[in-house]
Structure 1
Amino acid sequence: MFRRFLVALGAAVLLATLLSACDSGNERDGLEVESTESVEAATPSGLITARADDVAAVSRFLLESASAVVLVTEQDRAAALDRARDLGVPALPDTDAGRAEAERLGARVLDADDEARDPAKPIERSTPVTIATATEPSRELLDLVTLGGGELARIARDPRRHGPSAKLLRREPDAPLLTLGASPYAVRVVRADAQTVGGGWFATRGKHLVAMYGHPSGPALGVLGEQGAEESIARVRRLVDRYEQVDPDATFVPAFEIITTVASAAKGPRGDYSARTRVAELQPLVDAAERAGVAVILDLQPGRSSFLSQAREYESLLRRPHVGLALDPEWRLGPKDKPLQRIGHVGVGEVNRVSAWLAALTRKHALPQKVFVLHQFQTQMIRDRERVRTDHPELATVIHVDGQGSPGAKFGTWRTIRAGAPEGVGWGWKNFVDEDEPMLSVAQTWAQVRPRPQLITYQ
């Protein structure tokens, strides 16, 4: 690990500046500091992210030690900050976190009225440090970092949405960096250059996935099983080419949606009417897709099992940067239900538990944003759907309207499912090669389906 030094007087100004910007209601003992030390090598080194008001985190990043600190309460804020500046020592909040940081620094604890017999001695910085903030930096903060030999940078809350911020973060990807107030996940993926299939930081924003659906075992479950891996890649590329001919200005990305657990008429060894496909059986297709720049979505039909328990079984595949997840509530059965007896459903709590788990996995390993698909062709299939969480920056949530039949019936389902949807979702459309009467052509799909779907699947 690099060593962190700063001139003591400068540290006092920095910490005091941050502290004075905090609301008293923001003083919390739990520090939301995320370090990349515990994640995979894909994560950039030397990166710490923290809340904009986390003074203790800034101190940990910048200071090796201090002979004294001033603890600041809301009642004596102005006097305590002045005292810290006069003495040239850090100012820390008078909380458990602030006192713990003072102990780490080996510092004598002062309040606003204490005499300081041993003020902190200046320490020379040995390693340049960049501080990036999503808040507007003060003049004092700019002066301080210049004095200390580092650099203060202004970045957006979500640098994936701001080109200059992304460029700044990529300029020195291995240099020590502390970010304040920016999205920890967004900073990590930009700094690691963890881009999605098709380029960029977002799985569906500004692009449209064109997917073949099925199971690699054979054609019974969809067009993806009608040929081998390399032939499937060639076929989905031809499909993408047809969309590009219709609209050369749009961005289309080839994709496979692989049925990973298959609803079964038999109970199976677990008694849940869901047959798992071994990871080893899926691996060749997933590997081939990655080499070819094809996105992959794993589709779960859990039977009497739960979506989350099944998703966990495929964590090794979901840790791959090009692999997303789909939940198919049609095949989410009750404790006494069997497949094809009725259309299944899932509660919003289960959906949100899966999305929270997948978001945490994506965040932990600094993976590109993942597609998170919810299949739906009846309103009852996702209960309390208005409460589906769509605020995970790690996920692009898509409601996939996969009804079949005549164009009129399909557009009726499309309108019904889109009504009252949670804010922030994208949309998916499915064309059934054999079941639709007739199936929309590429040109018709692109011209008639509005809004234009982020995911277009062929089964």
Structure 2
Amino acid sequence: MYFMTYKQQLSIVCASISLSALLFSCNGVESKTKGAANSSDSAQTVKNTEAEEAKTTESVSANTYAPIDSAKYWDAVKNLANGDTTGLWPVIKQPIPAPGAILPFKRVVVYYGNLYSKKMGALGEYPPKEMWSRLNKEVKAWEKADPSTPVQPGIHYIAVVAQGDGGKDGKYRFRMPDKQIDSALTIAKMHNGIVFLDIQVSLSTIQQELPLLEKYLKLPHVHLGIDPEFSMKTGHKPGTKIGTYDAEDINYCTRFLQKLVKDNNLPAKIFVVHRFTKGMVTNYKNIKLVPEVQMVMHMDGWGEPELKKGTYRHWIREQPVQFTGFKLFYKNDLKKAPNRLMTPDELMKLSPKPIYIQYQ
């Protein structure tokens, strides 16, 4: 729920892409002596990680993932329904996921943002060690709230960022350089985190942007997020109106991920779709579910607890797809006193219970 300004775009062009620079927040061109002194070591870290990722990709075809126990899967899915009486949950017409699936056996808890900006979320606001310290506290809170469900931590990184300037092609989006994405993957590995690459297409299309991230999505621990808010099919600039995706766009992404999983012997992918209005997702009943892709419709709205619960009820609960997510904003949720951040215990009372939690 934030787009990149032209000033921030310029800062990206001017900033160092090495991990040493990313260890400090880049809001404008911000440099520190310590980062410069450690640049060679950090560059080597990124290089080593790239080599490790290459080895992972090469060897993945030799790996096998545990098949899913269908009885345990349905028990966990029914547990997530949390006593729902509408008849909508659990979603009965869904396939047993492909081997290696994370959901619903683990709850995914992530920090969201972009490493170049402190304003896009907690992921870019703090140096990596501090970021992980904060995220691990949230993980422990979720483990306490739901001891029966292990937590898989991760980062949700905006890889294609909506911006306020059209750029050379007039598409109002900025694609993050590969080395910057590599650095995000390096940070995730600090605590065995999974990675979500998020796409804000602006005046481009998901069909143009998604294939450019294929080499990353071939990695077994990298998953996908898309943001309808910044899919500007009407031609408006991002941030001036709320965008939209149709089931056809979502199904395109599902087919793309499904093929990657099949062709590369990967575990099931998680696919997160952000939503906080009716119009952000159209024809939801036409969304297709496949064993290779686990779909999360994610409540992305901010505000007071009752408003957030209402948004979740209307656009997530009453339009079921497969799994649900819930977003918490450290700043926006507190904009109006006496607002407060909702707790894991409160979210565990929702029906259905969200299995993907994002902090911004």
Fold similarity call, TM over 0.5: yes
**Residue in structure 2 matched with residue 408 of structure 1 by the alignment:** 306
- The Cα shift of 1:442 comes to 2.9
Distance of 1:373 and 1:455 partners within structure 2: 9
Q: Which position in structure 2 is the counterpart of 1:43?
A: 61
Letter in 2 for 1:451: P
For residues 308 and 287 of structure 1, do their structure 2 counterparts lie closer, same or farther at Cα, with a shift above 3 Å needed?
A: farther
CA contact (8 A) 1:290 1:322 kept: no
* Aligned residues of 2:157 and 2:184 also touching (Cα < 8 A): no
**Cα–Cα, structure 1 residues 44 and 283, in superposed 2: closer, same or farther, change >3 Å?**
closer
Aligned with residue 452 of structure 1, among 328, 331, 353? 353
CA deviation vs aligned residue, 1:373-403 (integer Å, no higher than 9, x gap) = 111111111111111112x211110000111
Q: Deviations over 1:323-366 (max 9, x none)?
A: 10011000000252111221000121111111101111122111
Displacement after TM superposition at 1:229 (Å): 2.8
Match of 2:219 in 1: 320
Question: Are the equivalent residues in 2 in contact too, given 1:431–1:439 (CA < 8 A)?
Answer: no
1:436 has 2:337 as partner: no
Q: Determine the structure 1 residue equivalent to 2:69.
A: 161
- State yes or no: 1:227 paired with 2:121: no
Shift of 1:294: 0.6
Q: Distance in 1 between matches of 2:147 and 2:201?
A: 39
**Residue of structure 1 in register with 2:315 after alignment:** 417
Residues 298 and 326 in structure 1, CA contact (< 8 A), matched pair in contact too: yes
Give how far 1:436 is off. Answer: 1.1
Query: For 1:293 and 1:426, how far apart are their aligned partners in 2?
Result: 23
Distance in 2, Cα, partners of 1:445 & 1:326: 25
Are the aligned partners of 2:275 and 2:297 in contact in 1 as well (CA < 8 Å)?
yes
Residue aligned with 2:134, SS: helix
Aligned partner of 2:296 in structure 1 is: 398
Separation in 1, partners of 2:131, 2:224: 20
Matched residue, 2:113: 214
The separation in 2 between residues aligned to 1:238 and 1:344, in whole angstroms, is 34
Secondary structure in structure 2 of the residue aligned to 1:255 = strand
1:272 pairs, out of 143, 167, 171, with 171
Q: Does structure 1 conserve the Cα–Cα contact (< 8 Å) formed by 2:329 and 2:341?
A: no
Report the counterpart of residue 272 of structure 2 in structure 1: 373
Matched, 1:331 2:230: yes
Matched residue SS, 1:219:
coil
**What is the rounded CA distance, in whole Å, between the counterparts of 2:304 and 2:140 in structure 1?**
26
Contact 2:317–2:352 at 8 Å: present in 1 too? Answer: no
In the aligned structure 2, how far is the partner of 1:254 from the partner of 1:385? 28
Q: Kindly provide the CA deviation profile for residues 424-455 of structure 1, in whole angstroms up to 9, marking residues without a partner as x.
A: x1000001111114233434444433321111
Seen in structure 2, the aligned counterparts of structure 1 residues 363 and 287 have a Cα distance that, compared at 3 Å, is farther
In 1, Cα distance between equivalents of 2:62 and 2:184? 29
**Which of 307, 322, 329 does residue 206 from structure 2 map onto?**
307
Write the mapping of 1:192-211 to structure 2, written as runs, cut at 5 A: 201-211=100-110
Residue of structure 1 in register with 2:324 after alignment? 427
Amino acid paired to 2:291: P
Mapped partners of 1:333, 1:396: distance in 2? 25
- Counterpart of 1:254 in structure 2 is 153
Quick one: structure 1 residues 439 and 300, their matched pair in 2 at CA, closer, same or farther if it must change by over 3 Å? farther
2:160 is paired with a residue of what secondary structure?
strand
Structure 1, unaligned runs of 5 or more: 1-38, 48-157, 164-182, 190-200
Please tell me whether the aligned partners of residues 164 and 172 of structure 2 are also in contact (alpha carbons under 8 angstroms): yes
Asked which structure has the greater RCO (Cα within 8 Å, sep 6+), the reply is: 2
Contact 2:161-2:201 within 8 A present in 1 as well = yes
> Any idea what SS the aligned residue of 2:116 has?
coil
TM superposition shift of 1:44: 3.7
Structure 2-normalised TM-score? 0.71
- How far apart, in 1, do the equivalents of 2:234 and 2:312 lie? 30
Secondary structure of the residue aligned to 1:275 is strand
Compared CA separation, residues 272 and 335, structure 1 to 2 (3 A) = farther
State the alpha-carbon separation in 2 of the partners of residues 293 and 208 from structure 1. 15
Paired with 2:179 and 2:256, the residues of 1 have a C-alpha distance of 23
The alignment's C-alpha RMSD in Å is 2.5
- Equivalent AA in structure 1 for residue 140 of structure 2: D
- Aligned mates of 1:281, 1:213 — CA distance in 2: 15
In structure 1, distance between residues paired with 2:263 and 2:130: 34
Return the TM-score normalized by structure 1.
0.56
Q: Secondary structure at the match of 2:158?
A: strand
Describe the superposition over 1:202-248 as per-residue Cα deviations: whole angstroms up to 9, x where unpaired: 12212211111111113110111112333323322221012223333
SS at match of 1:287: helix
1: distance between equivalents of 2:348 and 2:272? 23
Of 172, 184, 187, the match for 1:285: 184
How many positions carry a matched residue from both structures?
276
Q: What per-residue deviation string (whole Å, max 9, x for no partner) do you get for residues 8-41 of structure 1?
A: xxxxxxxxxxxxxxxxxxxxxxxxxxxxxxx954
Alpha-carbon distance in 1 for matches of 2:116, 2:267: 29
CA contact (8 A) 1:223 1:458 kept: yes
- Percent identical across equivalent pairs? 28
Aligned 8 A contact 2:110 2:154 in 1: yes
- The SS at the match of 1:43 is helix
Secondary structure in structure 1 of the residue aligned to 2:204:
coil
- CA offsets per residue over residues 161-184 of structure 1, 9 Å max, x none? 269xxxxxxxxxxxxxxxxxxx9x
Measured at CA, do residues 422 and 241 of structure 1 come closer, stay the same or move farther in structure 2, by a change above 3 Å?
Answer: closer
Q: What is the letter of the counterpart of residue 415 of structure 1? A: R
